[in-house]
């Protein structure tokens, strides 16, 4: 029987609405949903590949246990018992902190995983908690915690109404928006230009988004904080500061902090002429609807936290926080800032530190850059067992080779993952979740980061096979086996969650949320969302300050000590000697790729090789490289050999590799990906190179040497 299943794509932050055409349970076609209130029919190649993930023969359908170099399929009871017993043995022998936890990016695209993962991690009771946050967006959370009072209170650009958009290190044309969920972002960027607005991009690479901007400026990797400090210095110097109705404190301290950074002093390092800095500062300050936005390029550098702080400060002091066309806060149907079953904590910083290097926790997690050393360094608190959930840190975190070697030394490891990949190949037990298309879907996190308030729930496309388990079911079963004596309140909360299930918790949150009305009788409920399969438009972003702030005095703290402390380190870069490695390595994203886990779809990886080293033609010629030649790229921690693609889209002195490749490790069971292995940029990134402000990994601006190299032998998966 033919039918159409209406759904939200769960593969990235854009939350595009899709129509999946089915013949029985067979997917015939996937297309964009023109009625979806957020994406309005937009779709990208990844959404079409959902059917490949659903039917992928490499996806595990039942648990496996490693025996030597092979995995043996087992029953759920045997696998869960083995997983719990192994983790319990390590915890009882060496203490609760001997178990480490890593949660990957796909976790936040699965609301059942979010709701029940919290409880499972708490059951382990370990301080050694890590996630993809500290290789991605930790600076945003760090700044929101210190300046706004809650780590999840993240302002998003109101791009549908802005007239000036200044972007740094962001490529929404490839990402579809990041911490700015915006289906069909290309249409939205074009809309700014069509209404006479200005879209300015600063990036060391002329990206896909540059083609949609009114202007693009090359900026040297790692110098964005200097540029932003100069922008603020101009705003204050020329009397352009006016926070408007936004309640602020510490503005004088901010004024003093940025005074040493006039654009004439920073231009030589950033590559941005002083007159351009002044022009941009005046444009942002004098335009009533303007916003500054920075993403991966600004977050994953040595001054990521400082960048995000200064971006927030620019939006505040020019009167563009909490105003239409500026940086605004969402009013989601389920408010994660208000708290949803365990997500109520505003955040934290420095409650404990890592054992080896003494790096401070942020938001209850340690930076993943310290994970390998916490495994390999003997002593009390050494990590001897790991639980990884929906993550592949061997490819996504610094010095993946060292981390892989560390994982091999663990006493025990459990992975909740559908694949035997570069990380899970080290696990003793793999617990695979069922296909995402067999579960319901609600974007608990990303609806709170969207450029327009909408709400949508998707039912399962097809029933879950009886032999498979959803992520949340696996988590509940594992937690039950790990459970020891605990207080009745915690037991009650866990029992209620299990009884309600994800959809029951969601229904309760919808009914009691801002749009729910009295028990949902006149507002939102899960039933109402069932009756609106294309989603419901809740309207544009609306001003909400000071009520939305979580600081004690309900003001935006513009100069918190935790951020001021890092400014001497920034100023020291103005006189720093040149590095012995002359090139700066940056990452890049492609519309057909999504971190490390979309490369097993033939339709996404076919065609020309996309894992190549981009560099300016003059730089390539200077080291004797031509198009297609193999370059040897060396950093402090490692080296890779990769084909060169000269292009004037690169700034001189900067080279670029894409993220998420490197599928040539032994024991990986990803047949398509292994046929297109590429190299891992994180075999070059350095775990010792941290943003000292917040602990985020430095993935952009990595010093490297580039020379003529040799093609290494490709190691196929076992």
pLDDT tens by residue, 577-619: 888 899 999 999 888 888 888 899 999 999 999 999 999 999 9
pLDDT tens digits, residue range 346-376? 999 999 999 999 999 999 999 999 999 999 9
pLDDT tens digits, residue range 501-535? 999 999 989 998 888 765 444 589 999 999 999 99
Q: Find the mean pLDDT for residues 671-680.
A: 95
pLDDT of residue 61: 97
Of 9-13, 120-124, 310-314, give the range with the top mean pLDDT.
310-314
pLDDT tens digits, residue range 179-221? 999 989 999 999 999 999 999 999 999 999 999 999 999 999 9
pLDDT of residue 577: 85
Question: Do the Cβ atoms of 33 and 46 come closer than 8 Å?
Answer: no
pLDDT tens digits, residue range 133-168? 999 999 999 999 999 999 999 999 999 999 999 999
Q: Does residue 478 surpass a pLDDT of 70?
A: yes
Q: Does residue 494 surpass a pLDDT of 70?
A: no
Q: Read out DSSP for 219-253?
A: --TT-HHHHHHHHHHHHHHTT----TT--EE-HHH
Strand order in the sheet with 2-8: 2-8, 17-23, 26-32
Q: Find the mean pLDDT for residues 337-353.
A: 83
pLDDT category at 487 given cuts 50, 70, 90 is very low
pTM of this structure: 0.96
- Mean pLDDT, the chain, rounded, equals 93
Bigger pLDDT: 78 vs 178 = 78
Cβ atoms within 10 Å, residue 329:
22
Taking CA atoms, 53 is separated from 47, 57, 106, 390, 690, in Å, by 10, 9, 14, 14, 35
Residue 255, Cα to own-chain centre: how many angstroms?
A: 31
* CA dist., res. 339 & res. 344, Å (int): 4
pLDDT category at 710 given cuts 50, 70, 90 is low
Q: Does residue 715 surpass a pLDDT of 80?
A: no
Q: Does residue 674 surpass a pLDDT of 50?
A: yes
End-to-end CA distance of the chain: 40
Domains and CATH numbers, the chain: 64-136+336-538 (3.40.50.740), 158-329+550-568 (3.40.228.10), 577-708 (2.40.40.20)
pLDDT of residue 488: 47
Strands 129-131 and 99-103, by their bridges, are parallel
């Amino acid at each position: 029987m033919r039918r159409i299943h209406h759904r939200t794509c769960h593969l990235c932050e854009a939350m595009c609405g899709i129509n999946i055409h089915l013949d029985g349970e067979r997917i015939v076609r996937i297309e964009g949903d023109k009625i979806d209130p957020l994406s309005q029919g937009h779709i990208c190649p990844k959404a079409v590949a959902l059917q490949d993930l659903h039917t992928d023969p490499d996806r595990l359908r039942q648990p496996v246990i490693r025996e030597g170099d092979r995995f043996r399929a087992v029953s759920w009871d045997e696998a869960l018992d083995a997983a719990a017993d192994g983790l319990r043995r390590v915890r009882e022998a060496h203490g609760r902190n001997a178990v480490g936890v890593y949660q990957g990016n796909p976790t936040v695209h699965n609301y059942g995983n979010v709701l029940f993962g919290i409880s499972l991690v708490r059951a382990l009771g370990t301080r050694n908690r890590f996630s993809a946050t500290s290789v991605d967006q930790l600076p945003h959370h760090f700044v929101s915690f210190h300046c706004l009072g809650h780590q999840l209170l993240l302002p998003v650009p109101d791009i549908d109404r802005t007239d000036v958009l200044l972007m740094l290190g962001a490529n929404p044309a490839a990402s579809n928006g990041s911490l700015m969920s915006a289906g069909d972002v290309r249409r939205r960027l074009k809309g700014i230009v069509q209404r006479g607005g200005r879209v300015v991009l600063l990036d060391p690479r002329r990206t896909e988004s540059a083609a949609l901007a009114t202007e693009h400026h090359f900026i040297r990797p790692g110098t964005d904080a200097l540029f932003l400090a100069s922008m603020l210095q101009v705003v204050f110097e020329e009397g352009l500061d006016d926070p408007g109705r936004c309640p602020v404190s510490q503005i004088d301290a901010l004024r003093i902090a940025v005074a040493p950074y006039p654009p004439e002093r920073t231009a030589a390092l950033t590559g941005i002429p002083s007159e351009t800095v002044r022009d941009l500062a005046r444009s942002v300050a004098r335009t009533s609807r303007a916003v500054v936005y920075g993403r991966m390029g600004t977050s994953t550098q040595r001054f990521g936290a400082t960048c995000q702080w200064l971006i927030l400060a620019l939006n505040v002091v020019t009167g563009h926080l909490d105003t239409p066309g500026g940086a605004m806060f969402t009013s989601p149907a389920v408010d994660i800032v208000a708290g949803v079953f365990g997500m109520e904590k505003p955040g934290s910083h420095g409650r404990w530190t890592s054992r080896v290097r003494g790096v401070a926790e942020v938001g209850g997690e340690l930076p993943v850059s310290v994970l390998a050393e916490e495994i390999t360094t003997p002593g009390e608190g050494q990590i001897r067992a790991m639980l990884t959930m929906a993550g592949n840190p061997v490819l996504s975190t610094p010095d993946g080779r060292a981390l892989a070697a560390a994982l091999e030394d663990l006493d025990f490891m459990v992975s909740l993952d559908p694949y035997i990949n570069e990380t899970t190949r080290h696990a003793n037990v793999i617990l695979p979740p069922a296909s995402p298309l067999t579960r319901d879907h609600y974007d608990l996190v990303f609806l709170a980061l969207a450029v327009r308030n909408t709400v949508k729930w998707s039912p399962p496309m097809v029933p879950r096979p009886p032999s498979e388990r959803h992520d949340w079911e696996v988590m509940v079963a594992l937690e039950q086996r790990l459970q020891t004596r605990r207080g009745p309140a915690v037991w009650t909360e866990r029992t209620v969650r299990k009884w309600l299930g994800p959809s029951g918790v969601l229904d309760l949150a919808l009914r009691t949320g801002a749009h729910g009305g009295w028990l949902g009788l006149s507002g939102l409920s899960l039933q109402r969302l069932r009756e609106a399969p294309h989603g419901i438009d809740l309207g544009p972003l609306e001003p909400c300050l000071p009520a939305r702030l979580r600081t004690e005095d309900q003001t935006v703290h513009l100069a918190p000590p935790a951020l001021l402390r890092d400014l001497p380190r920034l100023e020291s870069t103005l006189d720093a000697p040149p590095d012995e490695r002359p090139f700066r390595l940056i990452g890049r994203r492609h519309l057909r790729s999504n971190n490390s886990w979309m490369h097993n779809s033939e339709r996404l990886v076919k065609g020309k090789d996309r894992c190549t080293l981009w560099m300016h033609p003059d730089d390539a010629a200077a080291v004797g490289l031509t198009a297609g030649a193999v370059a040897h790229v060396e950093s402090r921690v490692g080296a890779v050999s990769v084909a060169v693609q000269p292009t004037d889209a690169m700034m001189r002195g900067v080279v670029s590799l894409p993220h998420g490749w490197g599928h040539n490790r032994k024991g990986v069971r990803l047949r398509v990906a292994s046929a297109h292995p590429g190299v891992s940029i994180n075999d070059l990134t350095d775990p010792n190179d941290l943003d000292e402000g917040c602990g985020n990994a430095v993935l952009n601006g990595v010093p490297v040497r580039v020379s003529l190299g040799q093609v290494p032998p490709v190691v196929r998966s076992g």
